[in-house]
Amino acid sequence: MTTLLTTHQTPTAKTRYTGDTIQGIPVISDLAIDDLEPGHQHRFFFQGVQMGSGQHWYVPVVVAKGVREGKRVALVAGVHGDEVSPINAVQRILAELDPAQMSGAVIAAIGVSRPAMEYTQSHWPTSQGGGSLIDFNRVWPGDESGNNAPIRHAGLLWSRLFKPNVDVAIDYHTVSTGGDFTLFIYADLGKSEIRQMAELFPVDQMKHDPGEPGTLEMAFVEAGIPALTVEIGSPRIFDSSKIALTVEGSLNVLKHYRVIDGALGRTAKDVGTFVGNAFETVRSTAGGFIELLVDLKTRVTPGQKVALQRNAFGDIVAEYHASVAGEVATIARDALSEPGSRVMQILYDSAGPRPLI
């Protein structure tokens, strides 16, 4: 006999419909997964914070609810608006799911930083105080009564969508405009369950990272919800090869938690993921044009020249060297570099070289 998904939430938890629809899709202000019919994929617009005009920002949400009790896994994309490979990755994961054969649920929030998504830019633009740009991945878990719109938007998503409904979370990103990244994971590898999740992804590199205050990943972890961040390479494009590997790793996580059935795909062990716990950040000391002498995933050694910089006349004005043994994780794709701009980051292990996963 089939056992339906049992209640994870308090008896008073309830999905609240505003009565509005957008393009035929119902708008909700609160989600309670246990209200939803099992064996189906449900689409909503989540009512976020108001704009200055009094209208709301709406976040697309998809819930694939299984027919048996199980883990509820959140997939989050679009915390930064120029990071679009995560959108495609989440869409592809959802396309692989059959709720009639699933346990638990998958909750996908797609393009959560609405105004940043509309302008394909990293940060949330606000008109408050004459205008500013706010990093939406430094305001979590937010506050519904906070002192700006992004903080309130995060608070609504956190208290009405994520926290009551999520047991495990994956937050998908890319590097910001002007740079490039490997397929990369940030995760607190000191936590065994999170490490297990991370090792299910066939990524290029992985950083043991306790988390940055204000990030969505850290908000989940501090709430007792295992979470990690996946960086899917380049901004503003669909990076198809990295998206495919991200989907493979994400489905591995769903199989690991028995949300879906099937044999595991490739993992970190299979692809020889490089693991470190620190970055050396190389920054430009002058203005000029950067010529990279290494690329992503290049293994470097202390003292190795990694970039040089020329002025408009072609004269070399600066040379840049690695001071650690590691692998190049991020690089600048913008050739013109102001003083202080990031040229690259090199992932390394502060305790010295150790075997790959």
| Percentage of the residues of the chain whose pLDDT score is greater than 70 | 95
Per-residue pLDDT at 128: 82
Residue 291, classed as helix, strand or coil, is strand
Beta-carbon contacts of 90 under 8 Å, excluding residues fewer than 6 positions away, are: 75, 77, 108, 110, 172
Residue 72, classed as helix, strand or coil, is strand
- Segment 259-263 shows an average pLDDT of 98
Question: What CATH architecture does domain 278-348 belong to?
Answer: Beta Barrel (2.40)
CB 333 within 8 A of CB 180: yes
DSSP track, 327-356: EEEEEE--SEE-TT-EEEEEEE-TT-----
Neighbours of 307 (CB within 10 A): 21
CB 103 within 8 A of CB 66: yes
Output the CATH code of domain 16-274: 3.40.630.10
Name the band, by pLDDT with cuts 50, 70 and 90, for residue 3. Answer: very low
Taking 50 as the threshold, does the pLDDT of residue 4 lie above it? no
Residue 249, classed as helix, strand or coil, is helix
Per-residue pLDDT at 7: 43
Domain spans of the chain, in order of start: 16-274, 278-348
Per mean pLDDT, which range of 2-11, 125-134, 264-273 is the poorest?
Answer: 2-11
Neighbour-count burial of 182, counting CB atoms closer than 10 A to its CB (0-12 exposed, 13-18 middle, 19+ buried)? buried
Per-residue pLDDT at 11: 44
**At 188, which amino acid appears?**
D
DSSP state of 128: G
Which tens digits make up the pLDDT trace of 183-205? Answer: 999 999 999 999 999 999 999 99
**At 65, which amino acid appears?**
K
Unique residue bearing structure tokens 């203005």:
287
Neighbour-count burial of 298, counting CB atoms closer than 10 A to its CB (0-12 exposed, 13-18 middle, 19+ buried)? middle
Q: How far apart are CA 308 and CA 291, in angstroms?
A: 5
For the chain, count helices (H), then strands (E): 7, 22
Name the band, by pLDDT with cuts 50, 70 and 90, for residue 356. Answer: low
Mean pLDDT rounded to a whole number for the chain? 95
- Segment 246-259 shows an average pLDDT of 98
Which tens digits make up the pLDDT trace of 26-55? Answer: 999 999 999 999 999 999 999 999 999 999
Pick the closest to residue 252 from 188, 185, 191, 161 (CA basis).
Answer: 185
Per mean pLDDT, which range of 4-13, 153-162, 293-302, 344-353 is the poorest?
Answer: 4-13
Pick the closest to residue 273 from 301, 292, 245 (CA basis).
Answer: 245
Per-residue pLDDT at 147: 95
**What are the distances in angstroms from CA 251 to CA 29, 48, 94, 106, 242?**
29, 29, 10, 11, 14
Which tens digits make up the pLDDT trace of 110-127? Answer: 999 999 999 999 999 998
Does 311 or 129 have the greater pLDDT score? 311
**At 102, which amino acid appears?**
M
